[in-house]
């Protein structure tokens, strides 16, 4: 099986048939499962390959159903739900061994101008170059680096993330890079919540794309915990560039397993 050592290689999908693709994986780094952001990014790319080139990602809503296996390719099938004058809707399934591991609805919008309003301006965080590099990747596969505003070895609610190898200026690859980065983070980084469990496997994930920002540069991931209940945790956040422009807004739910991290 072909393996990928950069995010760009992960996004180079093999066309098997109309609306059917095969994606490669990163080498197994001892995690025993695929990083969820990889599958989401690949499914978003597959969906885009079925829409008009003048449309850009508007949103995605996905469910993680099974752990992906790093030693087996991911087969991605796309259903063309609708193509309207302004929006295109797609349904995507990622399959391994005949079982769906991830399902996603994605929407794409025709490029158009509109009002720009940011109701949640962000105070400038510390410059990423002044923060200590983290050495643990917490299952992300090592294709991007992060620098936390908390402890250097900790996942935290506010951190800088960046793809290690540039994906280039293509706006679709940049959007897929944001999808890849958006699955990284813990919903309850504060140690006082340890008895409730740390962020475990992702359950579902929603992402809304806004201004095009450069994921080849540092992206600020700002997460806020909403609640933990019934063995699940819910949090939201934004991905912004150095100037504070919002590239995407996310909402995600994690499974909580008491005493377990990552």
User: Per residue in 215-248, pLDDT tens?
Assistant: 999 999 988 888 877 778 888 999 999 999 999 9
Check if the beta carbon of residue 62 is closer than 8 Å to that of residue 42.
no
pTM of the predicted protein model: 0.90
- Nearest Cα to Cα of residue 161 among 71, 250, 29, 233: 250
- Structural domains for the chain: 7-110+119-257 (2.40.160.210)
Can you read off the two tokens belonging to residue 175?
């959007």
Give how far the C-alpha of residue 157 lies from the chain's centroid of Cα atoms, to the nearest Å: 15
pLDDT digits over 204-214, tens only? 999 999 999 99
Chain CA centroid to CA 18, Å: 25
Residues 94-147 pLDDT 10s: 999 999 999 999 999 998 776 666 667 777 788 888 887 776 655 556 788 888
Cβ-count burial of 96 within 10 angstroms (0-12 exposed, 13-18 middle, 19+ buried)?
buried
């Amino acid at each position: 099986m072909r393996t990928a050592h950069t995010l760009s290689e992960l996004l180079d999908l093999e066309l098997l048939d109309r609306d059917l693709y095969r994606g490669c994986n990163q080498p197994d780094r001892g995690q025993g499962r695929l990083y969820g952001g990889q599958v989401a990014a690949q499914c978003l790319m597959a969906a885009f390959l079925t829409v008009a080139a003048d449309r850009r990602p508007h949103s995605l809503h996905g469910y993680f159903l099974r752990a992906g296996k790093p030693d087996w390719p991911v087969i991605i099938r796309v259903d063309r739900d609708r193509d309207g004058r302004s929006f295109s809707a797609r349904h995507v399934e990622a399959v391994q061994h005949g079982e769906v591991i991830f399902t996603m609805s994605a929407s794409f919008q025709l490029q158009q101008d509109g009002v720009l309003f940011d109701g949640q301006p962000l105070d400038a965080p510390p410059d990423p170059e002044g923060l200590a590099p983290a050495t643990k990747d917490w299952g992300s596969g090592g294709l991007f680096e992060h620098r936390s505003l908390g402890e250097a070895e900790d996942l935290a609610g506010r951190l800088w993330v960046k793809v290690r190898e540039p994906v280039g200026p293509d706006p679709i690859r940049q959007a897929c890079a944001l999808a890849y980065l958006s699955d990284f983070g813990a919903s309850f980084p504060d140690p006082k919540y340890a008895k409730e469990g740390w962020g475990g496997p992702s359950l579902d994930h929603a992402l809304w794309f806004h201004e095009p920002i450069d994921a080849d540069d540092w992206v600020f991931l700002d997460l806020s915990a909403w609640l933990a209940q019934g063995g699940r945790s819910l949090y939201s956040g934004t991905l912004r560039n150095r100037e504070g422009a919002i590239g995407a807004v996310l909402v995600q739910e994690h499974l909580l397993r008491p005493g377990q991290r990552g």
